[in-house]
Chains A and B, each alone.
Chain A
Amino acid sequence: MNIRKPIQIIFFIILALLISSLLLLIDHVSPIAGIAELISGGFLTHYGLVATINDTIPLLIVAVAIIIPFIAKFWNIGGQGQYIFGSIFATWIGLELAGSLPGALLITAAIIFAFIGGALWAMPPTLMKIYFGTNEIITTLMMNFIAVYFLDYMTIGPMEGSIAKITHVPSSAPIPSPDLLPHIGGVSTGIFMALAIAVIIFILLRYTNFGYELKLIGSSIDAARYAGASLRRDLLLSMVLSGGIAGIAGMIQVFGITTVLLPQVFSDITTSFGYVGIPVALVASLNPLITIISAFFFSGVLNGAYAMEISFGIPIDLVITIYGLMMFFAVIGVMINLGRIFRRSGAK
Chain B
Amino acid sequence: MSSFISIFMLLLPTVVLGMVPRAAPIFAAALGENIDQSAGTLNLGVEGMMLLGTIIGFVIDFKTGDFVLAFIVAGLASALLALLHGIATISFKVDQVTSGTAIWFIGWGLSGFIYSSLFGKASSPPAVKTIPTLYIPHLTDIPYIGKLLFGQDPVVYALFITFLVAQYFLFHTKAGLNLRTVGEDPLVAEIMGVNPDLYRYFALIFGGFMAGVGGAYITLSLVGSFYFDMTAGMGFIAVALVYFGKWNPLRVLIGSLVFGAVYVLYLALETYFPTTPYQFFSMFPYIATLILIILVGARAHAPAALALPYIKEG
Q: How many B residues, CB 8 Å from partner?
A: 50
Q: Say whether, besides A153-B280, A266-B229, A317 and B113 are in contact (CB < 8 Å).
A: yes
Given known contacts A135-B243, A142-B233, A26 and B103 CB-to-CB distance under 8 angstroms: no
Question: Given that A315-B112, A315-B116, A332-B88 are known contacts, is A134 also in contact with B294, CB under 8 Å in the complex?
Answer: yes
Q: Are A157 and B277 in contact (CB under 8 A)?
A: yes
Complex interface residues of chain B between 270 and 286 (CB less than 8 A to chain A): 277, 279-280, 282-283, 286
Task: Using known A-B contacts A23-B113, A317-B109, determine if residue A137 contacts B280 with beta carbons closer than 8 Å.
Answer: no
- A328: contacting residue among B88, B97, B293, B297, CB under 8 A: B88
User: Known contacts A149-B280, A317-B109, A321-B110; is A135 also within 8 Å of B228 by CB?
Assistant: no
CB pair A267–B88 under 8 Å, yes or no, is no
Expressed in whole angstroms, the Cα–Cα distance for A157 and B289 within the complex equals 26
Interface string of A96-138 (1 = CB under 8 A from B): 0000000000000000000000000000100010001111011
The distance from the CB of B95 to the nearest CB of chain A, in whole angstroms, is 7
Give complex CA distance A325, B298 in Å: 34
- Residue of A133, A145, A150, A334 with highest tally of chain B CB at under 10 A: A145
Which of chain B's residues has its CB closest to A317's CB? B112
Asked if B102 and A328 make an inter-chain contact with CB atoms under 8 angstroms apart, the answer reads yes
In-complex Cβ contact of A132 among B110, B117, B236, B297 (8 A): B297
Residue A146 is within 8 A (CB to CB) of chain B in the complex: yes
A67 at the A/B interface (Cβ < 8 Å)?
A: no
Query: Smallest distance from the beta carbon of A85 to chain B beta carbons, Å?
Result: 14
B286 neighbours in A (Cβ, 8 Å): 142-143, 145-146
User: Most chain-B Cβ atoms within 10 A of its Cβ — which of A139, A157, A315?
Assistant: A315
Known: A128-B294, A153-B277. A335 touches B93 (CB 8 A): yes
Residues 147-168 of A at the B interface (beta carbon under 8 Å): 149-150, 152-153, 157
Q: In the bound complex, do residue A267 and residue B243 qualify as a contact, i.e. CB atoms below 8 Å apart?
A: no
Question: What is the chain A residue whose CB lies nearest that of B298?
Answer: A133
Find chain B residues with CB under 8 A from A265 CB. Answer: 228-229
Q: Does B290 count as interface, using CB distance less than 8 angstroms?
A: yes
Nearest-Cβ distance from residue B291 to partner chain A, whole angstroms: 10
Main secondary structure of the interface of A (DSSP, over half): helix
Query: Which chain A residue lies CB-closest to B45?
Result: A324
Chain A residues within 8 Å of B94, by CB: 331-332, 334-335
Q: B283, A336: Cβ atoms under 8 Å?
A: no
Q: In the complex, what's the smallest C-beta–C-beta distance from B297 to chain A, in angstroms?
A: 4
Residues of chain B lying within 8 A (CB to CB) of residue A145: 232-233, 283, 286
CA gap between A229 and B256 in the complex, in Å:
39
A317 touching B116 in the complex, CB below 8 Å, given contacts A282-B98, A335-B92: yes
Interfacial chain A residues near B160, Cβ < 8 Å: none
Q: B101 and A321: CB pair below 8 A?
A: no
Output the nearest chain A residue to B93 by Cβ-Cβ distance.
A335
Known: A139-B290, A267-B229, A335-B93. A327 touches B283 (CB 8 A): no
For residue B297, which residues in chain A have a CB less than 8 angstroms away from its CB? 132-134
Nearest CB of chain A from residue B218's CB, rounded to whole Å: 14
A140 to chain B, nearest CB (A): 10
B93 close to A328 (CB less than 8 A): no
* Interface presence of A318 (CB below 8 A): yes
Q: Does A141 contact B (CB under 8 A)?
A: yes
Say if the beta carbon of B104 comes within 8 Å of chain A.
yes
Asked if A149 contacts B279 (CB within 8 A), the reply is yes
Chain A residues, Cβ within 8 Å of B279 = 149-150, 152-153
In whole Å, how far is B299's beta carbon from the nearest beta carbon of chain A?
A: 8
List, in ascending order, chain A residues with CB within 8 A of B101's CB. 77, 278-279, 282, 327
Q: Is B84 on the interface with A (CB-CB < 8 A)?
A: yes
Contact A132 B109 (CB under 8 A): no
- Known contacts A23-B113, A134-B294, A153-B280; A327/B229 CB under 8 A: no
User: A323 in the interface, Cβ–Cβ < 8 Å?
Assistant: yes
> B250 to chain A: which residues have CB within 8 Å?
none
Residues of A within 8 A of B228 (CB): 265-267, 317
B289 partner, pick from A142, A152, A331, beta carbons under 8 A: A142
Of chain B, the residue at the smallest CB distance from A133 is B298
Given contacts A134-B293, A324-B103, A336-B92, contact A141 B116 (CB under 8 A): no
Report whether B97 and A324 are in contact in the complex, using a CB–CB cutoff of 8 Å.
Answer: no
Query: Which positions 70-114 of chain B face chain A at CB distance < 8 Å?
Result: 84, 88, 92-95, 97-99, 101-114
A49 sits at the interface (CB 8 A): no
- Inter-chain contacts of B112 with A (CB < 8 A): 267, 315, 317, 320
* B97 pairs with A331, CB closer than 8 A: no
Q: Are A141 and B236 in contact (CB under 8 A)?
A: yes
Q: Is A212 an interface residue (CB 8 A)?
A: no
* Bound-state Cα–Cα, A158 to B174, Å: 60
Q: Is B208 in contact with chain A by the CB < 8 A criterion?
A: no
Q: Decide yes or no whether A65 CB sits under 8 A from chain B.
A: no
Kindly provide the distance from the CB of B230 to the nearest chain A CB, expressed in whole angstroms: 9
Name which residue of chain A comes closest to B95, CB basis: A331
The 4 closest A-B pairs by CB, nearest first: A133-B298, A324-B105, A320-B109, A317-B112
- Give A contacts to B, CB under 8 Å: 23, 26-27, 75, 77, 124, 128, 132-135, 137-139, 141-143, 145-146, 149-150, 152-153, 157, 265-267, 269, 275, 278-279, 282, 314-315, 317-325, 327-328, 331-332, 334-336
21 cross-chain CB contacts under 8 A: A133-B297, A135-B240, A138-B243, A138-B293, A142-B240, A142-B286, A149-B280, A149-B283, A153-B280, A279-B102, A315-B115, A315-B117, A318-B109, A320-B106, A320-B109, A321-B108, A323-B109, A324-B48, A324-B107, A328-B99, A331-B99
- B→A interface (CB under 8 Å): 44, 48, 84, 88, 92-95, 97-99, 101-117, 228-229, 232-233, 236, 239-240, 243, 277, 279-280, 282-283, 286-287, 289-290, 293-294, 296-298
Q: A133-B298, A267-B228, A279-B105 are in contact. List 7 more A-B contacts (CB 8 A).
A: A141-B236, A142-B286, A315-B116, A320-B109, A328-B102, A331-B99, A332-B94
